[in-house]
């Protein structure tokens, strides 16, 4: 076994690998960009080396910088995590040439399976069933168009390299194919440095089922059961579970054996995942990920194994710890990916500071894998994942209850998150009833992503009481500091010289003003809310946790204030309001039409119009790439384009006005 390893990654997966290495007595070396100097994985490691500026291309994707850190640290092996260089054959080869062990598969297996097109050719030869499609060398629009006609619409345009939903487009009719090809090529080139594509028949309601495989250098290979990853949005997994529910035992066994055959076909070593689409009793190979998957914890929860430990053992030349007939599966597990993103804005990544971060308590049923702490920044430069929430119990129903409770107990403030969206999926009756496939989110979109609703009376009540208690605390401190601590002017109990005892608050909820008046009564408060009156008693506030008796019912919420912004977290709900104040209004002025502004920091990749050009409503004007995803800015109405403020390649900040526009 190794004495010291370097983790060529960041965030959650770097922390995950460090935990196992520390348990095994292995020293760890972290690498970090300038943006990650104070990151959690840096603090956890025994040593850490700066490898470059914030952009990944100048740091985490720099083979030379990472090899230099390996040489300086004396690490014997490098764990690539997932993403970045984890499936880069050139990096694995460079590690071997430098005399350091790459904790992953052989270079040949990475090259073979790293190209979706090449992997399909190999699987076809090995007898593994494939989705009907095209994975040829010809990449011209004409060739791809002919292939699509042969396959039949709808087709899936898919980047040959990489994953995570990048470079994927569903095309339902011939008219949309050329633009989908061009867009997918641009996105694939930006994300993976390779713009080659393949086409697949787009199945109507398939499930995404994947098999965890493991192989050693002695020729042994096993499968560690399956995971269902069907709950996806934009081809990116949202909630995964293991084992895959409602699969016949014969199908499970056949898929596992096909996955092992796929691994053996490329002389695989280490951890890998073979992904299939399953529909109507049939399954079809789609790709193999030659690395540890993001969702590997659900497999660990049902097997009781540490897959990172297995990786380290296999990479050090040891045989697999268990044979196929020794592997057992117990219970059911879910993993939910908690992201800083705004589901109401088409899952646009969010950036900002995590002003409050309180995960649920971990125990044998609940696990939290994260790379951030309270106070950390979610940066524009990297994937905006906050954490993976993993739960386990004896059966699916019990595990699903655990998931719903743990999501309700996950409190995040400072950035917009998808925790409410995850809770809506976990609580949806169709999800509980196993009506799952890759179209689940779109099919139930109206249920999962309802229109924004006003903050309810309960949220306003919590915000008002928290403000009162904070002011009471500050008033007490001010009184202590003053020369007259008993002066009534220091009181925060609503005392007025010639008025009744009350406080007036005015909150901004979206575009609406929501006034609240709090009257002091003998044993508590009476809150005059926009929709009625509520009595509050016995309110206490401790470390942002507010507990009060509201309308005769004892309730608890977390209330976070950041300037004039107030966030209330209660029972899985996140309510945000702004305390109305003249200075807050001045600070919040918007500088332009949001439809023609950059949705977040990014880079202009296409300018589709010219100054003075007449355009129609909905016409694409500019394409901005942010966090490796393309966002098209469209005309809000018929009109004429004014000055264009940015060119292709320019960086833009969030809210920057991209161009002038005059509606007809």
At 584 the pLDDT is 35
What pairs with residue 275 in β-bridges? 210, 287
Quick one: 285 and 375 in the same domain?
A: yes
DSSP for 156-172, please give it.
EEEESS--TTTTEEEE-
Q: Mind listing the pLDDT tens digit for each residue in 260-283?
A: 999 999 999 999 999 999 998 899
Residue 109 included in any domain = no
Tokens read off for 606: 């296409």
pLDDT of residue 498 exceeding 80, the answer is no
- CATH of residue 47: 3.40.50.20
- Tell me how far apart the alpha carbons of residues 643 and 631 are, in angstroms, rounded to a whole number: 20
| pLDDT tens digits, 408-464 | 999 999 999 999 999 999 999 999 999 999 999 999 999 999 998 999 999 999 999
CB atoms within 10 A of CB 524: 17
| Cis-peptide, bond into residue 637, ω within 30° of zero | no
CA–CA separation, 378 and 352 (whole Å): 5
Would you say 295 and 335 are in contact if contact means Cβ atoms under 8 Å apart? yes
On whether both 628 and 580 belong to a single domain, the answer is: no
pLDDT band for position 160 (50/70/90)? confident
Asked if the structure places residue 340 within a domain, the reply is: yes
Q: Which residues pair with 418 in a beta bridge?
A: none
C-alpha–C-alpha distance, residues 306 and 296, integer Å:
9
> 254 with 302, same domain?
yes
DSSP string across 264-299:
HHTT--EEEEEEEEEETTEEEEEEEE-S--TTHHHH
Whether 236 maps to a domain, the answer reads: no
* 3-state class (DSSP) for residue 444: coil
Which of the listed residues 448, 478, 494 is the one where a domain comes to its end?
448
User: What's the pLDDT score for residue 650?
Assistant: 87
Which of these three, 586, 604, 630, is where a domain ends?
Answer: 586
Query: pLDDT tier at 485 (50, 70, 90 boundaries)?
Result: low
Does residue 120 fall inside a structural domain? no
In angstroms, the CA 199 to CA 148 distance is 7
Q: What is the mean pLDDT of residues 291-318?
A: 98
pLDDT at 480: 62
Q: Looking at the 3D structure of the chain, how many domains does it have?
A: 5
Tell me: do 304 and 393 sit in the same domain: yes
Same domain flag for 263 and 388: yes
The predicted pLDDT at position 655 comes to 72
CA gap 558, 606 in Å, rounded: 43
Report whether 351 contacts 384 (CB < 8 A): yes
At residue 502, what are phi and psi to the nearest 5 degrees? -160, 165
Arithmetic mean of pLDDT over the chain: 90
The lowest-confidence range among 74-88, 222-236, 577-591, 631-645 is: 577-591
Assess whether pLDDT exceeds 80 at residue 98: yes
- CA separation for the pair 229, 248 (Å, rounded): 17
**Mean pLDDT score, 44-60:** 97
Q: Would you say residue 493 has pLDDT above 60?
A: no
**Choice between 60 and 474, residue whose per-residue pLDDT is larger:** 60
- Domain at 159, CATH number: 3.30.1490.20
Contact 410, 366 (CB under 8 A): no
CATH number, domain at 344?
3.30.470.20
Q: Round to whole Å and give the CA distance between 219 and 612.
A: 67
The three-class DSSP label of residue 435 is: coil
Are 558 and 600 in the same domain?
no
Q: Assess whether 166 and 215 both reside in one domain.
A: no
pLDDT category of residue 364 using cuts at 50, 70 and 90: very high
**CA-angle at 323, arms to 317 and 325, nearest 5°:** 175
pLDDT > 70 fraction of the chain, expressed in percent and rounded: 92
282 in the same domain as 181 = no
pLDDT tens digits, 528-545: 999 899 999 999 999 899
DSSP-assigned letters across all residues of 490-519: G--S---SSS-SEEEEEEEETTEEEEEEEE
Please tell me the predicted confidence (pLDDT) of residue 226. 98
Identify which of 224, 322, 320 has the alpha carbon closest to the alpha carbon of residue 270: 320
Mapped onto helix, strand or coil, the DSSP state of residue 534 is strand
Range of the domain at 643: 594-663
% of the chain residues with pLDDT over 90: 75
Domain at 657, CATH number: 2.40.50.100
Q: Tell me: cis bond preceding 243? Omega within 30 of 0 counts.
A: yes
pTM metric for this prediction: 0.81
Would you say residue 499 lies in a domain?
A: yes
Catalytic residue list: 291
Mean pLDDT of 493-510: 71
pLDDT for the residue numbered 629: 61
Q: What is the CATH number of the domain that holds 533?
A: 3.30.700.40
Whether residue 484 lies inside any domain: the answer is yes
Those residues whose C-beta lies under 8 Å from the C-beta of residue 459, and which sit 6 or more positions away, are 568, 570, 573, 575, 577
Hey, what's the torsion of the CAs at 260, 261, 267, 270, to 10 degrees? -10
- Note the pLDDT of residue 592: 35
Are residue 86 and residue 18 in the same domain, yes or no? Answer: yes
The structure tokens listed for 223 are: 């499968």
Residue 23's pLDDT is 97
598 — phi, psi (to 5°)?
Answer: -65, 125
Among 219, 262, 413, 229, residue whose Cα is nearest residue 334: 229
d(CA 503, CA 518): 5
d(CA 507, CA 568): 13
The reply to whether 417 and 533 lie within a common domain is no
User: Does a structural domain hold residue 111?
Assistant: no
The pLDDT value recorded for residue 654 is 67
Q: Report yes or no on 409 lying in a domain.
A: yes
Taking only the tens place, the pLDDT of each residue in 586-638 is: 333 333 333 588 876 678 999 999 999 999 988 999 988 765 567 788 898 89
3 state DSSP class of 380: coil
Distance, CA of 219 to CA of 216 (rounded, Å): 6
pLDDT at residue 141, rounded to an integer: 94
pLDDT in tens, 190-227: 888 889 999 988 888 999 999 999 999 999 999 999 99
Largest CA distance in the chain: 90
- Same domain flag for 440 and 554: no
Residues 253 and 399 in one domain: yes
| Rounded Cα–Cα distance for residues 197 and 199 (Å) | 7
């Amino acid at each position: 076994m190794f004495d010291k390893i370097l983790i060529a990654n960041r965030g959650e997966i770097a922390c995950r690998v460090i935990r196992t290495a520390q348990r095994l007595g292995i020293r760890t070396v972290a690498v970090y960009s300038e943006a990650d100097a104070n990151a959690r994985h840096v603090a956890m490691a025994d040593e850490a080396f700066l490898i470059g500026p914030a952009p990944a291309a100048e740091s985490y994707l720099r083979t030379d910088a990472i090899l230099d850190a390996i040489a300086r640290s004396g690490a014997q092996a490098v764990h690539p995590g997932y993403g970045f260089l984890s499936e880069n054959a050139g990096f694995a080869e460079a590690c071997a040439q430098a005399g350091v062990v790459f904790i992953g598969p052989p270079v040949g297996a990475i090259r073979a399976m790293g190209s979706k097109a090449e992997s399909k050719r190999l699987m076809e030869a090995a007898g593994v069933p494939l989705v009907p499609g095209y994975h040829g060398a010809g990449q011209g629009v004409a060739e791809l168009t002919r292939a699509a006609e042969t396959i039949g619409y709808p087709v899936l345009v898919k980047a040959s390299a990489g994953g995570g939903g990048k470079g994927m487009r569903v095309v339902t009719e011939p008219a949309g194919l050329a633009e989908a090809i061009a867009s997918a090529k641009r996105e694939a080139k930006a994300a993976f440095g390779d713009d080659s594509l393949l086409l697949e028949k787009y199945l109507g309601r398939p499930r995404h089922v994947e098999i965890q495989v493991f192989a050693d250098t002695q020729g042994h290979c096993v499968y560690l059961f399956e995971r269902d990853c069907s709950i996806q949005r934009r081809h990116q997994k949202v909630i995964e579970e293991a084992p895959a529910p409602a699969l016949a035992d014969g199908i499970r066994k056949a898929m596992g054996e096909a996955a092992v055959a796929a691994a053996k076909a490329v002389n695989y070593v280490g951890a890998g995942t073979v992904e299939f689409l399953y529909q109507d009793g049939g399954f079809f190979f789609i790709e193999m990920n030659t690395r540890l998957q993001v969702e590997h914890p659900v497999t660990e929860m049902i097997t009781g194994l540490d897959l990172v430990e297995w990786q380290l053992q296999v990479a050090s030349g040891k045989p697999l710890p268990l044979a196929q007939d020794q592997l057992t599966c117990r219970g059911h597990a879910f993993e939910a990916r908690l992201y800083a993103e705004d589901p109401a804005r088409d899952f646009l990544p969010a950036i900002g500071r995590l002003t409050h971060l309180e995960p649920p308590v971990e125990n044998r049923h609940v696990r939290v894998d994260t790379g951030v702490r309270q106070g950390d920044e979610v940066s524009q430069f990297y994937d905006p994942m906050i954490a993976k929430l993993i739960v386990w119990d004896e059966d699916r129903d019990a595990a699903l209850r655990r998931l719903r409770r743990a999501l309700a107990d996950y409190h995040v403030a400072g950035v917009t998150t998808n925790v409410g969206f995850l809770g809506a999926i976990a609580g949806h009756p169709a999800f509980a009833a196993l009506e799952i496939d890759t179209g689940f989110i779109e099919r139930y979109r109206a249920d999962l992503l309802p229109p924004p609703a006003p903050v309810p009376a309960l949220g306003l009540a919590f915000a008002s009481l928290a403000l009162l208690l904070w002011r009471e605390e500050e008033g007490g401190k001010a009184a202590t500091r003053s020369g007259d601590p008993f002066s009534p002017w220091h009181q925060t109990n609503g005392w007025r010289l010639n008025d009744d005892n009350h406080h007036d608050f005015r909150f901004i909820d979206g575009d609406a003003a929501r006034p609240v008046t709090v009257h002091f009564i003998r044993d508590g408060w009476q809150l005059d809310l926009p929709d009625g009156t509520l009595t509050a008693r016995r309110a206490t506030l401790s470390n942002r946790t507010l507990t009060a008796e509201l309308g005769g019912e004892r309730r608890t919420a977390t209330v976070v204030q950041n300037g004039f912004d107030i966030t209330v977290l209660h029972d899985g709900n996140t309510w945000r309001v702004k305390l109305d104040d003249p200075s807050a209004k001045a600070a919040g002025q918007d500088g332009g039409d949001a439809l023609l502004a950059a949705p977040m920091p990014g880079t202009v990749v296409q300018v589709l119009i010219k100054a003075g050009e007449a355009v129609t409503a909905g016409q694409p004007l500019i394409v901005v790439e942010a966090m490796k995803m393309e966002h098209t800015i469209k005309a809000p109405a018929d009109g004429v384009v004014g000055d264009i403020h940015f060119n292709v390649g320019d960086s833009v900040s969030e809210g920057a006005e991209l161009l002038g526009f005059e509606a007809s």
